[in-house]
Chains A and B, each alone.
Chain A
């Protein structure tokens, strides 16, 4: 069996100074060595360097037990070197010490990575939860929007239904036409609204504002009794009166206009009292929102 204890060619002397705390042991080895200074074998230098490296890294905090094992192994190698120099036994101990140090470093690195991963997993979960909450919020917002739309439709339908009780509501090509009988709105020959008329117009205004619309035209009509110019003037005053009242009840003034149509477009015969009563009317033509 060939022993390799005489091979020093690869020794790095600088390694002596690399490991400060271990210098004492090295010095004693130097002092003890007979026939000249004993130079530590490569294995021992490597072991010292590996230990110094491991002690700097995460192992110090995260793998202290393994680092301590490495320290003990290195001390055994150093002691042996101090006792009998760069012997085979010293090299073996150093070889093992180096690996213990590298193992401590690896365990420290693993622990560090494990923690990083745990933190990332936590982040992932939190992000998922945040994502779910965001999704939930979107869902809730959509549901609220839908509920609001349903409510608006219900209100509009209710408004129309309530109008039907006080006026005739008809859909025509020119828009939704709300017809109010002249006799409930005005006294004969007058254009001042009767108190009962105001109540009805309150409902009309409410229905219009609830439902929303693009514009309205209030048209006044008379029967054919009397002069055409008188009738037109009266129908205009009455239409204006209704239009102005609606504006005071929330109908935007820029969306509402008035027209006096006189005896034109009769809806019934002017030859009977009932027919004439029907012709005396105010129509509100509503152009719906697109």
Chain B
């Protein structure tokens, strides 16, 4: 892997993309759901590692960043799913309440 120093460019684009996606997942509520939060953490850990590797092993850093993006994407999707399920359950509950109210 040392031959990576031979000219593999520093993965700046991958880094900012991964960071942006983590941000997006967090804004999307990923930290409120345990599974989503796990993937946010995985993404952040890999971004940290990648930043430390930048300059020394750019290829490895890029690998990690691509993984981090996949984790951040997934975190957001899980958070959105959880929110949608929550909303659906709440809506069903409202219907139940209204029906109960009306049958009084």
Q: Which residues B57-104 have CB closer than 8 A to chain A?
A: 57, 60, 63, 66-67, 70-71, 73-74, 77-78, 80-81, 84-85, 87-88, 91-92, 94-95, 98-99, 101-102
- Where chain B touches its partner, the secondary structure class is helix
How many angstroms from the CA of A17 to the CA of B54 in the assembled complex? Answer: 40
Chain A residues within 8 Å of chain B by Cβ, number: 28
Interface Cβ pair total, 8 Å cutoff: 78
CB distance from A62 to the nearest CB of B (A): 11
B74 contacts A106, C-beta separation under 8 Å = yes
How many angstroms from the CA of A130 to the CA of B101 in the assembled complex? Answer: 12
A103 at the interface (CB under 8 A from B): yes
B98 contacts A128, C-beta separation under 8 Å = yes
Size bracket, chain B contacts: 20 to 34
CB distance from B86 to the nearest CB of A (A): 8
A221 at the interface (CB under 8 A from B): no
How many angstroms from the CA of A103 to the CA of B45 in the assembled complex? Answer: 20
How many angstroms from the CA of A107 to the CA of B57 in the assembled complex? Answer: 35
Question: Which residues from chain B sit less than 8 Å from chain A, CB to CB?
Answer: 1-2, 39, 57, 60, 63, 66-67, 70-71, 73-74, 77-78, 80-81, 84-85, 87-88, 91-92, 94-95, 98-99, 101-102
A sample of 4 more A-B contacts (CB under 8 A), given A120-B88, A131-B102, is: A3-B1, A99-B74, A102-B78, A109-B84
